[in-house]
C-alpha cells in the first residue's frame, strides 16, 4: 500500500486537523495602525498557540527607515500596548521576533517590490518545499492599485505547484458599485478570485461564525426561521466612539458605506440564507450571495418610509463632553454625512416574504453592542392574552461584547395567580467554554494562510451589497431625505423609533 499523498497520514486524530504550509507573510503598511493594533497581536497569539508553521516569516513593508532589529523593537512596543494583557512570554517573544523582518519602501513601487521579492526569496531559501506568500494590504484604498499591479509586474502573483500566492484586501472594497467593479477588475487582472481574501473582520468573530452552527446544527431553531413564525429581524451594530481620527475617510463614507454595506449585510446574509449545500467555502458563499440577491432594492418613493439618516451633535458620552460630528477633525463644517442609519429591508423569497429586516448602525450611541435578533410572532393561543405582557419570543445573537445567545420567553411568576413575565435564558461564550475566544484577525489570518475563503467576501457579493446601498443613497439624494440630528449617548434619532412605531414595532432596548 503506498501513501495517499493528498493528505498527511500522521495528522489523523491530532487536535490541529488543519496545518499551514510553510509560508511568508508580507504586511504592506507594516508600520501602520492596523499592523500594530491588530495584525501583530493576532500573529503573536497564533505563534503562542503553535498555529504558525515552521519557517514562517513576516516581512513588514513600509516607508519608514528601519532595520530588522529596530522594526522588532517597534513591534515589541506595539505588543506591549495591544498584545496579551498578561504580558509577553520571554521565550515566545524571542522565537516570534526571529520571524520578523523589514523591507523599506522607496518612492518607486516596482523597484521596491523587486527588492522585496529578493528578500523573500532569500528568507525562504531554506524551506524544503515551497515559496508560499501571503500579501496583506493594510494600506489606504488609493495604494491598492499600484501595489497589486506592481506585484503582478515583478512576478510575485504567479503561482507554481509549490508556491501559492494570496492577497488579503481590507475594506472598503470600493465606495460604490462602480468603484467596486473597477477594483475587482484591477484585482482580477493580477490575481484569480480564489487568490483574493477580502477581509471583513466581523466575519471572523466567534459569534458570527456560530450563526451557522446555531442555525443548522440545532433542530430547535431552524424550523422556526421563516415567515410563519418570525415577526421581524433586527440587526444592530452600535458604537460609542466617534470618528476617532478617521474624519477624512469617514466624511466621504458615512454609516451606510462604512458599516451596512459590509458588516451588517454580511451578518444579515448569514442569518437569513438558505442552508448551503455543504460547509465548503464556495457553497457557503453561494448561499450568502443568493440571499443578498433576494433583497429588494429600495425605490426612491419608499425611501423616507423605510430609512432614517442622522448625524450626532455635541453632547455627553459616559459623562464626558464630546464634540458634534461637524466639529470633528477633518470633517467638513457643513457635512451632510450620516453617522447613523436605520433601514427596513425586505427579502423576496419564500422563506422571508413579509418579514421586515430592520438594520441600524451608528456612532456615539448609548452602548457598544452588536447583535442580530429574531423576533417571533406572539403565541397564537389567546387565553393568556388578557392584561399580560405577551411580547413574542426573541432569539438574540450577541456578537459583541459578551458574545453569546439569549432567548426570551415568558414564564409564570410564582404565586397563586397566573401572572406571566418575560424571562431570558442566556448562553455566554465566556462562561460556557473554558477556551478563550480568538480574536477575529487571528482566525482570519489563519484561514487565509490555510487557503480557506469561507469567511471572506467574494467579488459578486460585495458588488450586490454595493448595489443595495447605492439604491438607498441615490434615493436619499433624489428625495432629499433629511439628515436628522441625534444626541450622543442615546439610541439615535426619534425618527428611527417612529419608523418602527408606524409598523407597530419598536427597537430592542439593548
Partner 1 sequence: MNDQHFYTISQPADIASIRSALGHLYRKAAATDDSPVPVVRPTMLNIIVYSAEYYSLVETESVVNDVIAQLPARTVIVDSSLDSASGSKAEVALMCSVDDRGERRLCGDSARLATQGLGAEVAGLVTPLLEADIPTYLWIAGKPAQCDEQLIALSALVDYVVIDSRCYDCFNDALNGMSRYGRNTSVLDVCWASLMPWREGIAQHFDPPGVRPLLNAITEVEVLYEPLTDGSLPIAPLLLVSWLVERMGAEIEEASRADDGLVVTGRREMSRFVLKMTGCGCGLGQGDLVAVVIRCTGAGFATSRDDANCSRVHSLGGPNTQIHRVGAPSLQEHSKLIAYILRNPSDEVFSSSIAVAARLAAKAGL
Which residues are the active-site residues? 263
Using rule CB under 8 A, residue 129 touches partner 1: yes
Using rule CB under 8 A, residue 430 touches partner 1: yes
Residue 492 C-beta: closest distance to partner 1, Å: 30
For residues 48 and 149, which CB has a smaller minimum distance to partner 1 in the complex? 48
For residues 433 and 506, which CB has a smaller minimum distance to partner 1 in the complex? 433
Using rule CB under 8 A, residue 381 touches partner 1: no
| Options 84-92, 98-106, 173-181, 390-398: segment touching partner 1 (CB under 8 A) | 84-92
Q: At a CB cut-off of 8 Å and minimum separation 6, what does 319 contact?
A: none
Residue from 436, 477, 482, 506 that binds partner 1 (CB under 8 A)? 436
Q: At a CB cut-off of 8 Å and minimum separation 6, what does 507 contact?
A: 234, 236, 358, 360, 491, 496, 497, 500
Q: At a CB cut-off of 8 Å and minimum separation 6, what does 146 contact?
A: 109
* Neighbour tally for 82: CB within 10 Å: 17
Give the number of residues in contact with partner 1, rule: CB under 8 A: 34
Question: What is the Cα–Cα distance from 442 to 157, expressed in whole angstroms?
Answer: 24
Using rule CB under 8 A, residue 12 touches partner 1: yes
Question: What is the Cα–Cα distance from 70 to 88, expressed in whole angstroms?
Answer: 18
For residues 13 and 414, which CB has a smaller minimum distance to partner 1 in the complex? 13
| Options 82-90, 105-113, 265-273, 459-467: segment touching partner 1 (CB under 8 A) | 82-90
Specify whether the backbone of 319 is left (phi greater than 0), alpha (psi in -120 to 50) or beta: left
**What DSSP state is assigned to residue 28?**
E
Question: What is the Cα–Cα distance from 424 to 412, expressed in whole angstroms?
Answer: 13
Residue from 220, 321, 434, 509 that binds partner 1 (CB under 8 A)? 434
* 3-class secondary structure, 461: helix
For residues 50 and 480, which CB has a smaller minimum distance to partner 1 in the complex? 50
Using rule CB under 8 A, residue 431 touches partner 1: yes
Residue 51 C-beta: closest distance to partner 1, Å: 11
* 3-class secondary structure, 336: coil
Q: Say which residue the cell 451633535 belongs to.
A: 313
Using rule CB under 8 A, residue 54 touches partner 1: yes
Using rule CB under 8 A, residue 3 touches partner 1: yes
Question: Strand 230-238 and strand 369-376: pairing?
Answer: antiparallel
For residues 128 and 509, which CB has a smaller minimum distance to partner 1 in the complex? 128
Residues that bind partner 1 (CB under 8 A): 1-3, 5, 8-16, 19-22, 50, 53-54, 84-86, 128-130, 161-162, 430-434, 436
Amino acid at each position: 500500500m503506498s501513501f495517499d499523498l493528498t493528505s498527511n497520514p500522521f495528522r489523523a486524530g491530532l487536535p490541529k486537523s488543519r496545518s499551514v504550509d510553510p509560508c511568508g507573510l508580507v504586511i504592506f503598511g507594516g508600520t501602520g495602525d492596523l499592523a500594530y493594533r491588530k495584525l501583530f497581536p493576532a500573529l503573536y497569539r497564533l505563534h503562542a498557540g503553535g498555529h504558525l508553521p515552521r519557517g514562517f516569516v513576516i516581512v513588514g513593508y513600509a516607508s519608514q527607515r528601519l532595520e530588522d532589529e529596530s522594526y522588532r523593537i517597534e513591534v515589541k512596543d506595539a505588543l506591549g500596548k495591544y498584545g496579551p494583557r498578561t504580558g509577553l512570554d520571554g521565550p515566545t517573544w524571542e522565537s516570534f521576533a526571529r520571524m520578523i523582518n523589514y523591507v523599506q519602501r522607496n518612492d518607486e513601487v516596482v523597484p521596491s517590490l523587486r527588492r522585496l521579492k529578493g528578500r523573500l526569496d532569500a528568507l525562504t531559501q531554506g524551506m524544503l518545499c515551497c515559496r508560499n506568500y501571503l500579501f496583506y494590504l493594510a494600506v489606504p484604498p488609493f495604494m491598492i492599485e499600484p501595489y497589486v499591479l506592481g506585484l503582478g509586474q515583478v512576478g510575485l502573483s504567479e503561482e507554481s505547484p509549490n508556491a501559492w500566492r494570496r492577497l488579503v484586501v481590507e475594506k472598503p472594497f470600493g465606495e460604490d458599485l462602480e468603484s467596486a467593479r473597477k477594483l475587482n477588475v484591477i484585482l482580477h487582472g493580477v490575481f484569480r478570485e480564489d487568490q483574493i481574501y477580502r477581509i471583513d473582520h466581523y466575519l471572523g468573530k466567534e459569534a458570527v461564525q456560530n450563526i451557522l452552527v446555531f442555525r443548522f446544527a440545532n433542530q430547535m431553531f431552524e424550523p422556526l426561521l421563516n415567515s410563519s413564525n418570525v415577526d421581524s429581524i433586527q440587526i444592530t451594530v452600535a458604537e460609542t466612539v466617534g470618528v476617532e481620527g478617521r474624519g477624512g475617510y469617514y466624511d466621504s463614507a458615512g454609516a451606510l458605506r462604512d458599516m451596512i454595506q459590509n458588516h451588517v449585510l454580511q451578518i444579515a446574509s448569514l442569518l437569513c440564507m438558505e442552508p448551503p449545500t455543504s460547509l465548503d467555502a464556495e457553497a457557503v458563499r453561494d448561499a450568502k450571495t443568493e440571499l443578498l440577491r433576494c433583497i429588494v432594492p429600495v425605490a426612491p418613493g419608499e425611501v423616507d418610509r423605510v430609512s432614517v439618516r442622522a448625524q450626532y451633535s455635541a453632547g455627553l458620552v459616559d459623562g464626558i463632553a464630546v464634540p458634534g460630528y461637524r466639529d470633528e477633525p477633518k470633517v467638513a463644517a457643513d457635512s451632510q454625512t450620516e453617522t447613523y442609519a436605520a433601514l427596513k429591508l425586505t427579502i423576496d423569497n419564500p422563506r422571508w416574504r413579509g418579514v421586515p429586516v430592520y438594520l441600524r448602525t451608528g456612532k456615539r450611541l448609548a452602548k457598544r453592542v452588536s447583535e442580530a435578533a429574531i423576533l417571533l410572532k406572539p403565541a397564537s393561543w389567546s387565553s393568556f392574552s388578557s392584561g399580560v405582557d405577551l411580547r413574542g419570543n426573541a432569539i438574540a445573537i450577541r456578537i459583541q461584547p459578551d458574545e453569546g445567545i439569549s432567548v426570551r420567553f415568558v414564564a409564570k411568576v410564582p404565586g397563586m395567580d397566573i401572572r406571566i413575565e418575560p424571562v431570558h435564558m442566556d448562553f455566554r461564550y465566556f462562561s460556557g467554554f473554558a477556551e478563550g475566544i480568538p480574536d477575529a484577525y487571528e482566525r482570519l489570518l489563519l484561514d487565509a494562510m490555510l487557503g480557506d475563503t469561507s469567511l471572506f467576501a467574494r467579488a459578486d457579493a460585495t458588488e450586490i451589497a454595493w448595489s443595495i446601498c447605492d439604491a438607498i443613497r441615490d434615493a436619499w439624494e433624489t428625495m432629499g431625505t433629511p439628515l436628522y440630528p441625534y444626541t450622543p449617548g442615546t439610541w439615535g434619532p426619534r425618527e428611527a423609533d417612529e419608523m418602527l412605531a408606524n409598523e407597530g414595532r419598536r427597537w430592542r432596548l439593548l
